[in-house]
Amino acid sequence: MYKGAILAPMVRIGTLPTRLLCLEEGADLVYTEEIIDHRLMDCRKFEHKNGLVEFKLTAEDNPVLQTCAKEKEKVILQLGTADPNRAVKAAKLCQDHISGVDVNMGCPKAYSTKGGMGAAMLKTPDLAESILKALVQELDIPVTCKIRCLKTLEETVEFAKRMEKTGIAALAIHGRQKTERSRADPCRSLWIAEVAKSLKIPVLANGGSGEIKSRSDIGQFQEKTGTAGVLVARAAMWNPSVFNKDGPRH
């Protein structure tokens, strides 16, 4: 399941229309944008005649999460959380309509890290473990996490190994550290490759959009990192047909 060319989670971008378009163009999996557990766990489910499923607080509110049967077997909910109980409550609400749950441990933005979520979890491995263990135990669908590089390669590999022991199905890693940015700092492809060699579960590579303009480029990045699959972010935002096996369309 966790392999191939995958739409990475992107806030405000990875919504249902984008995900469906990427699937139509050939993406093997699609991640939702990061959704914070607080926002999701108290929602109600609204099912519509056209197959659309929405999770929102009331019928009049804007949806926190939208999905549909067309993507059910291919969509992964990315959850922003810093609490096992909240994580389980939010994930259980929608697990019948998704294929997996991913815990965000890599977002460097303040709205995540100030709440102890995202890349802040790289400094709290015990909490990260407890969240993943709770989700693995309580859910009927696969659980994964997405991390960033830590200060050293050794720390990065050790953290990834600790997360693997929780029973997760796969691990994704962005090849940059918390303070590094895609426009200025190169992706640490060799670090990703080392993590992939060190784990028994599938490892997904993220951070190579600067060198990705086509499906063949995705394959080359996957081969360079020795991973099971590649999460594509900016390249898919610029042109979702980057997933098209016949080549990108205008």
CA–CA distance, 16 with 244 (Å, rounded to integer): 19
Beta bridge partners of 173: 147, 205
Query: Is 149 among the residues known to form the active site?
Result: no
- Whether the CB-CB separation of 72 and 99 falls below 8 Å is answered with yes
State in Å, rounded, how far the first CA of the chain is from the last one.
29
CA–CA distance, 226 with 21 (Å, rounded to integer): 27
Which residues, including other chains, have CB under 8 Å from residue 210's CB and lie 6 or more apart?
A: 182, 187, 234
Alpha helices in 25-124 (DSSP H): 37-41, 84-94, 110-113
Question: Among 22, 43, 94, 107, which one carries the catalytic annotation?
Answer: 107
DSSP state of 8: P
Residue written as tokens 């309580």? Answer: 138
Beta bridge partners of 77: 101
Report how many helices (DSSP H) and strands (DSSP E) the chain contains, helices first. Answer: 9, 12
Residues annotated as catalytic (active site), given as ranges: 107
